[in-house]
Amino acid sequence: MTMKIKHIISQHRRDFQAEYECEHCGHTYQDYGYDDDNFHRNVIPEMVCPKCGKKAGADYRPLATKYPAWQEV
């Protein structure tokens, strides 16, 4: 369980705005992100839910990026 991206609201190049959802308590909120491997593997699992204060468990599976790491956008 973890914070997860519920859906992408908008994206320009690698910057995006998304609705995040806590899988512990179901709280949703909007925030920004960066669509690279580091953000999906390291930043999202460390996000703390503003409502319940929990973060990702060991079962977190990161999303794939929209563009490959080598591609300049």
pLDDT at residue 33, as a whole number: 96
Contact at 8 Å (CB) between 49 and 25?
Answer: yes
At residue 3, the pLDDT reads 84
1-58 pLDDT, tens digit per residue, is: 478 899 999 999 999 999 999 988 999 999 999 999 999 999 999 999 999 999 877 7
Instruction: State residue 13's pLDDT score.
Output: 95
Confidence check: pLDDT of 60 > 70: yes
What pLDDT sits at residue 28?
96
The Cα 24–Cα 34 span in angstroms is 23
